[in-house]
Structure 1
Amino acid sequence: QHKVEKVIVWQRPFVKAGLKEGRDLDWASLLRNATPCGHVELDATDPLYILYTSGTTGKPKGIIRDNGGHAVALKYSMTYVYDVKPGEVYWAASDVGWVVGHSYIVYAPLIHGCATVLFEGKPVKTPDAGTFWRVIQDWNVSVLFTAPTAIRAIKKEDPAGSKHQRYDTS
């Protein structure tokens, strides 16, 4: 039985989260008091992370990814599936808590030598259906990875594509 003992909270300047005494830790305080440490050597088969399933079919299950195999698969896919070049800006518009988002927001771009966009929001109403195109223009995104659902939501809000025309996404 797994029970969360500590939670690290990143406080946002516009909305402060209430911290639970004895459990929650403030990110900024931890960072200020952190002591740098050296690297740690690991075997390729050592666990990289555990990501829990949603629990829709029962209790959430922890899925363990290993270091080596996962890194090789991500590097391969960035090169041969998505044709991303090292140095480009890559944006996986997904949820970082899902395995695709976790893998292609955090690990794959960095392993491949790319900058990655961390975006919090949705394709519409943040503030409008031009949000994705604004992010692509402002951050010089070379490759966008997203779900068809996101594109359908944008098309529903902006069927003529007028929001897209305001931005240079070339």
Structure 2
Amino acid sequence: MRRKVWPGVKLPRKLMLVSCSIILLAAAVLAAARLETRSQVQATYPQLGATVKVENGVGEISMEIAASKMRQRDQVLFWVEGVRRSVSMTKTCGGVWKGSCVLTICRDDVNGDKCQNIGSGVVNSDALGRVERKVSTFFSARDYQLLIVVVQVCEVQDKTVPECKTSAKLARIYLTVADP
């Protein structure tokens, strides 16, 4: 004996199966579209390129900063730190320019006799969520043996409070400074 799903309504079995499969397929497509949209909104890691030029004891650092897929209020922070020539890298880092060793030198330097901030700034994204900026600054090449250039994405979490939270999305470059 056959049971009827809806009393009084006769639908062919194939039509019901096709209708159910269309509904399930539509739900799957919608879920996939939502996931893809969410991944597109998440900012990519910033990109950084930098060069150092030294002439007559004056150094110039030129940086190219780029990022994409940023939300409207997000920013890219950048800063340059210099390791002074008075720091013995042979003693401190075993003669090897290891990133973690150099970062420890600058992080633990409270009074600025090993590292010094040379410059910093903030770059806002354009209406399409892109950052493309060239920045350069001058410094005394006689004072520094190594430059650490860092760019980091700063994401605004709350629309009502424009507070910027630094993220783990960063790029870092180490540049040696030629003897003047």
TM (norm. structure 1) is 0.18
Structure with bigger strand share is 2
Structure with bigger helix share is 1
Report which of the two structures shows the higher radius of gyration computed on alpha carbons: 2
Relative contact order (C-alpha < 8 Å, sep 6+): which is higher?
A: 2
